[in-house]
Structure 1
Amino acid sequence: MRTPTSQQRPNPQRPQRPQNSKQRYEPTGPVMVPLESPSKRIRFVTFIFLVVMSLYMARLVELQVVRGPELAATAQNSRLQTLTLPALRGNFTDSDGVPIATTVMARNVTVDPKLITDPAGTAAALSPILGIPVETIVASLTVDSRFSYVAKRITPDTWKLVAELGIPGVFSEPTTNRVYPNGNLAASVIGYVGAEGTGLGGLEFGLNEQLMGQDGKLTVERVNGREIPASERQSIDPVNGLSVRLTIDSNLQAMLEKSLGDQVVATGAEGGVAVIMEPGTGNILAMATYPTFDPNNPFATDDKSKRNTAVTDVFEPGSTSKVMTMASVIEEGGANPGTQYTIENRISRGGTSFKDYVDHPTLRLTLAGVLAKSSNIGTILASESIGENKLYEYLQKFGIGQSTGMNFPGESGGKLPDINNENEWSATTFPTLAFGQGLSVNAVQATSVFATIANDGVRMLPRLIAGYSNNEGVYEPTTVNEGVRVVSPETAKTVREMLEGVVSEDGTAKNMQIPGYRVGGKTGTANRYDEATGGYSGYTSSFIGMAPAEKPALVMSVSIHNPKTSTYGSVVAGPVFKKVMTYALAHKKVPPSTTKPPKLPVEW
Structure 2
Amino acid sequence: MRESGGRGQGPGRGAGGAGSQGGPGAARRTPGGPGRAGRQGGSARSEGTGRPASPDNPPRQPRKRPDPLDLPFGPDDDPRARPPRDDDDLPPSDDAPPTPGDRRSPRGRPRPDTGRTGGTRGRGDDEPGARRRPPREDDRPRGRAAAQSRDPGPRTRTPGSRDDAGRDDHGRSRRVPADRDHDRMRGRVQDRDDRRTFREGRAGEARTRGRQDDAQDRGGRDDDARARGRQDDDGAPRRPRPGERDRVPPRRPADGPRGPRGGDVPPPRGPGRRPPAPPRPPKPPLVLRLGSPRRRINIGLIGMTFVLSIFAGRLIQMQGLDSKVYEAAAVDQRRHVETIPAKRGSITDVNGHDLAVTVEARELSIDPSKITDVGVRAKVAKVLAQQLGKSEQDMAAKLARVDTRYQRLASDVDPVVASRLLRASIPALSAKKTYRRVYPAGDLAGSLIGFVGDEGKGLIGIERTSNKLLAGRDGRQRVETGRDGQRIPMTSSQRTAPVNGQDVRLTIDRDVQWAAQKSIADQVEESGADSGTVIVMDVRTAQIVAMANAPELDLGNWRSAPASSQINKAAADVFEPGSTNKVITAAAALEARMVTPDTVFRVPDRIKCYDRVLRDAHAHAAESMTFRQAMAESSNVATVMAARKVGSARLYAMLKAFGFGSTPGGGVPGAEAGLLPDYRKWSGSQSCTVAYGQGVSVTALQMASVYQTIANGGVKIEPQIVAGTTDASGRHVPAAPGKQTRVVSETTAKEITTMLESAVGEEGTGHLAAIPGYRVAGKTGTANRYDAALGRYDGYTASFVGFAPADAPRLVVLSVLQNPKNGHFGGQLAAPVFKDVMTFAIKSKKIPPTGSTVAPVRTRTGE
If the TM-score is normalised by the length of the shorter chain, which range does it land in?
A: 0.7 to 0.9
Instruction: Give the structure 2 partner of residue 38 of structure 1.
Output: none
Question: What letter is aligned with 1:202?
Answer: G
The one-letter amino acid of 1:292's match is E
1:189 to 448, 461, 475: 448
Structure 2 counterpart of 1:549, which letter? A
Q: Does 1:590 align with 2:847?
A: yes
Query: For the Cα contact (< 8 Å) 2:583–2:752, is it kept in 1?
Result: yes
Q: Percent identity?
A: 39
Q: How far apart are residue 514 of structure 1 and its match?
A: 0.9
Shift of 1:124: 4.1
Instruction: Tell me the equivalent position of 2:634.
Output: 374
- Matched residue, 1:170: 429
Are the counterparts in 1 of residues 364 and 431 from structure 2 also a CA contact under 8 Å? yes
Select which of 516, 535, 541 maps to 1:281.
541
Partner residue of 2:857? Answer: 600
Q: Which of 615, 639, 659 matches 1:399?
A: 659
Deviations 1:225-281 (A, max 9, x none): 363574434422222233321111111111101110110000011111111111211
SS in 2 for 1:586: helix
Q: Which residue of 2 aligns with 1:506?
A: 763
How far residue 320 of structure 1 moved from its aligned partner, in angstroms, is: 0.7
Larger Rg: 2
Determine if the alignment matches structure 1 residue 20 to structure 2 residue 20. Answer: no
Alpha-carbon distance in 2 for matches of 1:362, 1:535 = 32
* The 10-residue stretch of structure 1 (324-333 or 493-502) with the greater mean CA deviation from structure 2: 324-333
Paired position in structure 1 for 2:406: 147
* 2-structure distance, mates of 1:264, 1:281: 29
The 1-side partners of 2:318 and 2:482 are apart by 23
Matched-pair contact (CA < 8 Å) for 2:411–2:454: no
Q: Name the CA distance, whole Å, in 1 between partners of 2:398 and 2:710.
A: 65
Residue 515 of structure 1 and its aligned partner are, at CA, apart by 1.4
Q: 1:76 to 1:401 in 2, by over 3 A?
A: closer
**1:97 alignment partner in structure 2:** 352
Q: 1:119 to 1:69 in 2, by over 3 A?
A: farther
Structure 2 CA distance for partners of 1:393 and 1:75, relative to 1, 3 Å: closer
1:301-320 to structure 2, matched below 5 A, reads: 301-320=561-580
Matches within 5 A, 1:42-57: none
- Report SS of the residue matched to 2:856: coil
Give the letter for the 2:664 counterpart.
T
- Partner residue of 1:255? 515
Moved more, 336-345 or 408-417: 408-417
Map 1:474-513; keep pairs closer than 5 Å. 474-513=731-770
1: distance between equivalents of 2:741 and 2:521? 34
- Cα distance between partner residues in 1 of 2:394 and 2:350: 47
Asked if the contact 2:720–2:738 (Cα under 8 Å) also holds between the matched residues in 1, the reply is no
Name the CA shift for 1:201/1:242 in 2 (closer, same or farther; >3 Å): same
Q: Is the 8 A contact 2:753 2:777 kept in 1?
A: yes
Q: Residue 597 of structure 2 is aligned with which of 322, 337, 343? A: 337
AA aligned to 1:276 is V
Give secondary structure in 2 for the equivalent of 1:574: helix
Q: Once the two structures are superposed, what CA deviation does each residue of 1:468-503 show, in whole Å capped at 9, x if it has no partner?
A: 234454432221134111111111111111111111
Query: Secondary structure, in 3 states, of the residue corresponding to 1:185?
Result: coil
Is residue 290 from structure 1 mapped to residue 545 from structure 2 by the alignment? no
| Counterpart position of 1:573 | 830
In structure 1, C-alpha distance between the alignment counterparts of 2:825 and 2:397, rounded to whole Å:
61
SS in 1 for 2:793: strand
Q: Deviation per CA, 1:337-374, whole angstroms, max 9, x where unpaired?
A: 22212211222222322210011112221111001111
Instruction: From 339, 360, 385, give the equivalent of 1:84.
Output: 339
Aligned residues: 563
SS at match of 1:285: strand
Which residue of 1 is the match for residue 803 of structure 2?
A: 546
Task: Give 1:597 shift.
Answer: 1.0
Structure 1 partner of 2:793: 536
Q: Gaps (5+ residues) in structure 2?
A: 1-82, 84-211, 217-249, 253-277, 282-304
Q: Give deviations 1:503-527, integer Å, cap 9, x for gaps.
A: 1112112222111110111111001
Contact 2:336–2:480 under 8 Å retained in 1: yes
Per-residue deviation, residues 379-427 of structure 1 (Å, max 9, x unmatched): 112223322222222111111111112354543211222123xxx3122
Tell me by how many angstroms 1:107 deviates: 1.7
| Cα distance change of structure 1 residues 110 and 235 upon mapping to structure 2, 3 Å threshold | farther
Query: Could you tell me how far apart the structure 2 residues matched to 1:243 and 1:458 are?
Result: 31
**Does the CA contact (< 8 Å) of 1:317 and 1:441 recur in 2?**
yes
Compared CA separation, residues 474 and 225, structure 1 to 2 (3 A):
farther
Cα distance, 1:324 vs. partner? 1.1
Using the TM superposition, name which of 159-168 and 382-391 deviates more. Answer: 159-168
Kindly indicate whether the alpha-carbon contact (under 8 Å) linking 2:368 and 2:398 is maintained by their aligned counterparts in 1: no
Structure with the higher strand share, 1 or 2: 1
SS in 2 for 1:146: coil
Q: In structure 2, what is the equivalent of residue 438 of structure 1?
A: 695
Give the AA of the match of 2:351. D
Structure 1: runs of 5 or more not aligned: 1-13, 26-50
What TM-score do you get using the length of structure 1 for normalisation? 0.84
1:491 partner amino acid: T
* Residue 389 of structure 1 pairs with residue 649 of structure 2: yes
Task: Tell which deviates more after alignment, 569-578 or 504-513.
Answer: 504-513
Give the secondary-structure state (helix, strand or coil) at the position aligned to 2:645.
coil
- The normalised TM-score by structure 2 is 0.60
* Paired position in structure 2 for 1:207: 466
Deviations 1:516-575 (A, max 9, x none): 110111111001111223321110011101000001000010010111111111210111
Q: Does the aligned pair in 1 maintain the 2:448–2:669 contact within 8 Å?
A: no
The answer on whether the counterparts of 2:591 and 2:744 sit within 8 Å (CA) in structure 1 is yes
